Chain A
Amino acid sequence: DFQLTQSPSFLSASVGDRVTITCRASQGISTYLAWYQQKPGKAPKLLIYVATTLQSGVPSRFSGSGSGTEFTLTISSLQPEDFATYYCQQLNSYPLTFGGGTKVDIK
């Protein structure tokens, strides 16, 4: 199975901060990686797919980069509504796998 390791697991930040979350794959997955945001009690929301493509309706402060085994999700200027947990997911092969999540909390 393709393992995904997210770092950090927890991040404390302030409104306006630039935030970067890393996702490392145990094997190369090309660009078949997606990022999701999840708030407590809610379903995940797709932010980025194929590593760099912003999902329709998602603010442009979110961006994704990377290919192969190393990927990043960047929030250029953290907004109050961005405090949530973020997951990466590899879609290169079955079983599809998610990273362990990064919780972004208010500093």
Chain B
Amino acid sequence: EVQLVESGGGLVKPGGSLRLSCAASGFTFNHYGMNWVRQAPGKGLEWVSFIRSSSSDIYYRDSVKGRFTTSRDNPKNSLYLEMNSLRAEDTAVYYCARVVYGDYVYYGMDVWGQGTTVIVSS
């Protein structure tokens, strides 16, 4: 079964750090680009970051540039999101999501994890 499972969410104080993980199974992980997408409580979806299958290109939304770092470990079938200098507005459910075809992000995201919740509050 094709599956993504996120972990690492929790409660953190403003200015703190957190590392999210996404474990992939059931498909050849190193063939696919991956995304992080978040959803604040009661709000819509917000794309956070994309990483190519080889890690050769990584993109971020402006509001997280310089604070968040996306990486992957292909032999471990894992995707990561390192989050530093966290703000209240980073509070959200964070999803990892697979690109439909290889690194061709144009086709959208067909496999999603169940999400992990990050709460930034003092």
| Main SS at interface, chain A | loop
Provide the bound-state CA to CA distance between A50 and B45, in Å. 19
Tell me, yes or no, whether B80 is within 8 Å of chain A by CB. Answer: no
- Which of B13-21, B24-32, B69-77, B109-117 makes up part of the contact surface? B109-117
Contact call A46/B106, Cβ cutoff below 8 A: no
Contact call B45/A98, Cβ cutoff below 8 A: yes
Q: Which residues of B contact A44 (CB under 8 A)?
A: 37, 45, 95, 97, 109, 112
Tell me, yes or no, whether B67 is within 8 Å of chain A by CB. Answer: no
Q: How far is the CB of B108 from chain A (nearest CB, A)?
A: 3
Provide the bound-state CA to CA distance between A94 and B107, in Å. 14
Provide the bound-state CA to CA distance between A98 and B38, in Å. 11
Number of A-B contacts (CB under 8 A): 63
Contact call A91/B115, Cβ cutoff below 8 A: no
Provide the bound-state CA to CA distance between A91 and B104, in Å. 10
Contact call B106/A91, Cβ cutoff below 8 A: yes
Interface size class of A (residues with CB under 8 A): 20 to 34
Contact call A91/B107, Cβ cutoff below 8 A: yes
Contact call A101/B50, Cβ cutoff below 8 A: no
Provide the bound-state CA to CA distance between A55 and B112, in Å. 14
Residue of B nearest to A6 (CB): B44
Whether A49 touches B108, Cβ cut-off 8 Å, given contacts A97-B47, A98-B46, A98-B47, is yes
Contact call B50/A94, Cβ cutoff below 8 A: yes
Provide the bound-state CA to CA distance between A45 and B97, in Å. 10
Provide the bound-state CA to CA distance between A32 and B62, in Å. 21
Provide the bound-state CA to CA distance between A92 and B106, in Å. 6
Q: A34-B108, A46-B108 are in contact. List 15 more A-B contacts (CB 8 A).
A: A38-B45, A43-B95, A44-B95, A49-B100, A49-B107, A49-B108, A50-B106, A50-B107, A89-B45, A91-B106, A91-B107, A96-B105, A98-B44, A98-B45, A100-B44
Give the B-binding residues of A (Cβ under 8 A).
Answer: 32, 34, 36, 38, 43-46, 49-50, 55, 87, 89, 91-92, 94-101
